[in-house]
Amino acid sequence: MLKTLLKLLSPKTRIIRVKYRRKGGLGGADAHYKAHKEFARTLVHQKLTSFNLHYKFTYNKVAIRNQRSRWGSCSKRGNLNFHYRIVLLPEHLQDYLIVHELCHLEMFNHSKNFWALVAETIPDHAARRKELIAHGRKQHSTP
């Protein structure tokens, strides 16, 4: 390590590039991720099955990830991704998150029609969205 540092500081070196890992976001330590990943997968599949009884959408893969800044996402290919920390959210926020991504399978936007689709099962979605955003800020402000 000392040799590497001295090499970087030598007069021959003109530019020193340092990569900093961003603090914050929703990311977490690997051990924490591994400890919660399978539980998150089970929870997500159960809730998707339950809510999809109403919507009857088709989806492909479901992935549990340790993402930096998103609670969930939906790809154009019909893949659903969720942050493993979904298991740490209150149940009403878990439900909102699942329904939100599920509805993106039908509408890949946030139009009035999209929100009407979400409201079919989560009528108070606007309040839950605000709470989820606040919860995310609280999550990444802690070390």
Digitized pLDDT (tens) for each residue of the chain, 143 residues in all: 556 555 555 555 444 443 434 444 555 578 888 889 999 999 999 999 999 999 999 999 999 999 878 899 999 999 999 999 999 999 999 999 999 999 999 999 999 999 999 999 999 999 999 999 888 776 654 44
pLDDT at res. 15: 44
Q: Give me 74's structure tokens.
A: 């939906």
**What length does the chain have?**
143
- Residue 35 has a pLDDT of 87
pLDDT at 112: 97
Starting at the earlier edge strand, list the strands of the sheet with 80-83: 62-65, 80-83, 72-74
Q: What is residue 60's predicted lDDT score, i.e. its pLDDT?
A: 97
Measured between alpha carbons, how far is 122 from 129 in angstroms, rounded to an integer?
11
Contact (CB, 8 A) for 37 and 84: yes
Q: Spell out a b/e string for 125-141, using b for 16 or more CB atoms within 10 Å of the CB, else e.
A: beebbebbeebbeebbe
CA distance 118 to 126: 10
Separation between Cα atoms, residue 98 and residue 102, nearest integer Å: 6
